[in-house]
Amino acid sequence: MDDALVEALTLDYRTAPISGQDQVMLDYVAQLTRDATVIGPEHHRRLHQAGFDDTAILQVTLIASWFNYINRVADSLGVGREGQA
């Protein structure tokens, strides 16, 4: 990825120059990260309409969930913070 795209994604993925499919995926991942309990058929319908099949939706969900999990573990243990474990 080029540096400009990385910076745009870091600032706000919603305004970054990405495909519609990537936008829908990142909207889903952001909601999954904020509160997965509200995800329902409408979220999956949007992903299907953007071109994701059930396997891809599962993969996106598993990858995002894994990163959320591992980051919370690392954060709770102070991994990467100076003076912490």
Residue-level length of the chain = 85
| 78 in Cβ contact with 85 (< 8 Å) | yes
Verdict on whether the full-model pTM lies above 0.75: yes
Does residue 85 register a pLDDT over 80?
no
Domain membership flag for residue 40: yes
Which range of residues forms the domain containing residue 64? 19-77
Domain membership flag for residue 26: yes
Local confidence band at 83 (pLDDT 50, 70, 90 cut-offs): low
Give the span between the Cα atoms of 40 and 45, in whole angstroms: 9
What pLDDT, in 10s, does the model give residues 56-73?
A: 999 999 999 999 999 999
How many structural domains is the chain composed of? 1
Angle at 47 between CA 31 and CA 37, to 5 degrees: 30
| 61 in Cβ contact with 29 (< 8 Å) | no
Give the span between the Cα atoms of 33 and 54, in whole angstroms: 20
Domain membership flag for residue 65: yes
Domain membership flag for residue 12: no
pLDDT for the residue numbered 9:
93
